Amino acid sequence: MIGLTAHPESTLLDRVLETLREGPRPAATLCHRVLGLPGAPEAVCERIAVALLGADPRVRRSADGSWGLVPEAQGSPLLEECAFAVVDVETTGMRAGVSDRITEIAVVVVHGSRREVVFDSLINPGRPIPPAICAITRITNDMVRDAPDFADVADHVLAALAGRVFVAHNARFDWGFVSAELRRARDIALDGPQLCTVRLARRLVKGVRSCGLDNLTQHFGFANPARHRAAGDALVTADLLQHLLRLARAEGAATLQDLSAIAVRRTGGGRRKRRAAPTAPRADSAPEGPA
């Protein structure tokens, strides 16, 4: 199945993967044309390819000896075969790659009718949480003082994400923070499919004023007694994902590629600027606490 993987960052490896996106290549071609070893014997090229690509889960060697990307070899999986990792993070602010850090993270697996929290933890960000953020998330500096650092839970986060499709409400925000933390903690990068439930909702849900999480929660009657907490928001996003999958199937979507195509298709309206940081509930938001 196509899903998330984590791998060491490497400029050399990136060049090889970029070439493989154009199609499978034999080891000799990769060495001679990509790695800058035009005179390398074929046996040497094979050893180099195995050393560079053999343990990379994104790549596999075919029966004819050529190397290719796994998604190109396998095709797009059926939606019922996909396991989704629905992620929510709470943070100290908006700047994932600079000064801000995760204060809480939760991962909910959605696979068919299964909906289960597989990871949920407060995180010590190693810096003070601004008072405005504390007021929104209700996560205080005292609460995270004895919580684990992200490096302490990185392996658990990777295990929760591995082999699954990354999903979040405003996925670029959550992906950015998780990727930045994994890079700092393990010097590895996430790679794989991701879905944004904001984008999907904009294309599949009719008759709503906005596709913010509060508004969609109210629109569909989902309960979220823990708004702006990682597990609460991840669970309600999982509810939303399951509903969006039903709507997508009704439009004929059968594979992950079909679903991704819906998420990126053009709509009649122009793009609106969105804020990624936690914000206070809007007037049209669902009330905090049980519905």
Catalytic site residues?
A: 228
Q: Are 84 and 96 in contact (CB under 8 A)?
A: no
What is each CA distance from 217 to 12, 105, 135, 228, 289, in whole angstroms?
45, 20, 21, 13, 12
CA distance linking residue 229 with residue 225, whole number of Å: 9
CA distance linking residue 124 with residue 253, whole number of Å: 41
Encoded tokens for 145: 């003082």
What is the β-pairing status of strands 194-196 and 165-168? parallel
HEC assignment per residue over 121-151? EECCCCCCCCHHHHHHHCCCHHHHCCCCCHH
Number of Cβ within 10 Å of residue 187's Cβ equals 9
What are the percentages of helix, strand and coil residues in the chain, rounded to 5? 40, 20, 40
